[in-house]
A and B are shown apart, each in its own frame.
Chain A
Amino acid sequence: MILFITNKEDLTIDFLINKLNRDNVNYFRLNTEDFPQNLGFNFNFKDNKFTIIDYIKNIEINIEDINSVYYRRPKLSEINFKRLNKGRKKFLLDEITYCFEGLYKLMRNKYWLNKIFAIREAENKMYQLLLAKEIGFRIPNSLITNSNSAHYFFNNEDEYIIKPIRTGYIDSIKSKELIFTNLFTKDQTYNLKRVKIFPNYFQEKVNKIADIRVTVVGNKIFSALIKSQEFEETKVDWRRNEEIPLQYEKIELPELIRKKCLKLNKILNLNFSTMDFALKKNKDYIFFEINPNGQWAWIEKKLKFNISQEIINLLTQKI
């Protein structure tokens, strides 16, 4: 049996479920926000019987029967905490979180598309740059700093890049905000006081003719060219402005780049990842980042890639 750890709104997992339903393959979708109202755990250490209970379907899944796991996008429980104070709410959410941590430990010997610790390790952008450079990818000149010496980085160029060090997502009660990759102009570089008050992630601005999105599943590679330079809004970050009709194209990666993509996944203990590159006019590939739990359904749908089938193949080969 395949176990999917995710949430109800994860449309990407729907791509796999849709196929598994058609092929009658045994799986269980664990939507974590349903715990503990609609889902239960029963970890019996006396009898060594560990089960997940689905109260809606009235079924019990024995963890012994799970062969492979795809850890996607778990969400916090939707339990109603309205009458509890903040400390107690946090205590209860910690308890729930620890239940899940226990579940993951109970499944430590199963096949995971990507193990959680590998996802966490691979997510660090500084570590990514370090490894990418070590295996021979070209990376943009990068500086993470809150030092006055940043001015040495800002030489004669008029434009640089500034981007978040970790997440570009700001969630608050009133609104949600995103920080994309942005241009940082020469005028801004003069205010070193602002550079000093907080760590900043600066990069050289790469002059690219397109962006490249690579999706690696096992030893299979799906590569797409994104015509990001056709629109002003997407020149720096192609993810910006969702209403722009960006064009995509299937491409074959140069053999050397292909090998390096596989090598990076191997070093990071990943069976799946997505990677972003810039393509320069001279055909150089500049590595931007790797996403160990990246989105892939949109590009499958756009270019008719068979990413979902390749993921299923990996998850079912252990059944």
Chain B
Amino acid sequence: MKPYILDFAEKVKIINKKNYEYDYKLNLNVSNTGCKSKRPFIDSSDSDFEIVTKTKVSRESDDIDINIFEFSIKTRIKREEDYSNLELL
């Protein structure tokens, strides 16, 4: 028997081929067209833009990267506050 909520998990479509890349000089992502002139990806009408941002929309309230990033700190703070509850964390 599994929790109900897991019945509703759906596989995410993963975009394997990105047609943009980060440009350290401009500090933003540029279209990966092979042209010499660098064009910000967000200025393109590329449909991937929407897919990428909408996928992130699905995650917007719960950015897992941030959560992982901060998890250890929260755990540590808890540890210092309350040793007796450590096993419950």
State A201–B62 Cα separation when bound (angstroms). 16
Q: Please name all residues of chain B whose beta carbon is closer than 8 Å to the beta carbon of A120 when the two chains form the complex.
A: 70
Q: Which residue of A lies closest to B25 (CB)?
A: A57
Q: Which of B38-62 contact A (CB under 8 A)?
A: 40-43, 49-62
- A295/B57 in contact, CB under 8 A: yes
Closest to A16 in B: B28
Closest residue of A by beta carbon distance from B47: A243
* Interface presence of B9 (CB below 8 A): yes
Q: Is the interface of B mostly helix, strand, loop or mixed?
A: helix
Interface centre among B11, B12, B52, B60 (most CB of A within 10 A): B60
- Judge whether B73 is part of the interface by a CB distance below 8 angstroms: yes
Q: Would you call B5 and A293 a contact (CB within 8 A)? A: no
Query: Across the interface, which residues of B come within 8 angstroms of A298, CB to CB?
Result: 50, 53-54, 57
Does any Cβ of B come within 8 Å of A127's Cβ? Answer: no
Contact (Cβ within 8 A) B63 A178: no
Min Cβ gap B82→A in Å is: 18
Total residues of chain B contacting the partner, CB 8 A = 49
Given contacts A14-B28, A176-B12, contact A239 B54 (CB under 8 A): yes
Query: In the docked arrangement, what's the CA distance between A76 and B56, Å?
Result: 17
> Which residues of B have CB within 8 Å of A177?
9-12
Nearest-neighbour CB distance to chain B for A222, whole angstroms, equals 15
Q: Taking A21-B27, A242-B54 as contacts, is the C-beta distance between A167 and B62 under 8 angstroms?
A: yes
Q: In the bound complex, do residue B61 and residue A242 qualify as a contact, i.e. CB atoms below 8 Å apart?
A: no
- Choose the segment among A90-98, A261-269, A279-287 that binds chain B (4+ C-beta atoms closer than 8 Å): A90-98
| B72 partner, pick from A14, A93, A162, A294, beta carbons under 8 A | A93
CB–CB A56/B69 < 8 A: no
Is residue B83 within 8 Å, beta carbon to beta carbon, of the partner chain?
Answer: no
Q: How far is the CA of A131 from the CA of B34 in the complex (A)?
A: 51
Q: Contacts of B11 on A, CB cut-off 8 Å?
A: 175-177
| Interface-lining segment among A43-51, A135-143, A192-200 | A192-200
* Chain B nearest Cβ from A249, distance in angstroms: 17
Counting chain A CB atoms within 10 Å of each CB, which of B8, B9, B13, B56 scores highest?
Answer: B8
Q: In the assembled complex, which residues on chain B have CB atoms less than 8 Å from the CB atom of A90?
A: 72
Is B27 within 8 A of A17, CB to CB? yes
How far, in angstroms, from A209 to B6 measured CA to CA in the complex?
28
Contact of A175 among B12, B49, B65 (CB under 8 A): B12
Check B13–A29 contact: CB distance below 8 A: no
Decide if B68 is an interface residue (CB 8 Å cutoff).
Answer: yes
Nearest-CB distance from A14 to chain B (Å)?
4
Identity of the chain A residue whose Cβ is nearest the Cβ of B21 in the assembled complex: A8
Is the Cβ of B42 less than 8 Å from the Cβ of A14?
Answer: yes
In the complex, the answer to whether A239 meets B57 with C-beta atoms within 8 Å is yes
Decide yes or no whether B88 CB sits under 8 A from chain A.
Answer: no
Chain B 61-89, CB-CB to A under 8 Å as 1, else 0, gives: 11111111110110010000000000000
Interface residues in chain B, defined as those with a beta carbon under 8 Å from any beta carbon in chain A: 1-6, 8-14, 20, 22, 24, 26-29, 40-43, 49-70, 72-73, 76
The 7 A-B residue pairs with the shortest CB-CB distance, nearest first, are: A167-B62, A198-B3, A14-B28, A8-B22, A298-B53, A177-B9, A176-B12
Query: What would 6 A/B residue contacts be, using CB atoms closer than 8 Å?
Result: A56-B24, A73-B65, A73-B66, A76-B69, A179-B6, A298-B53
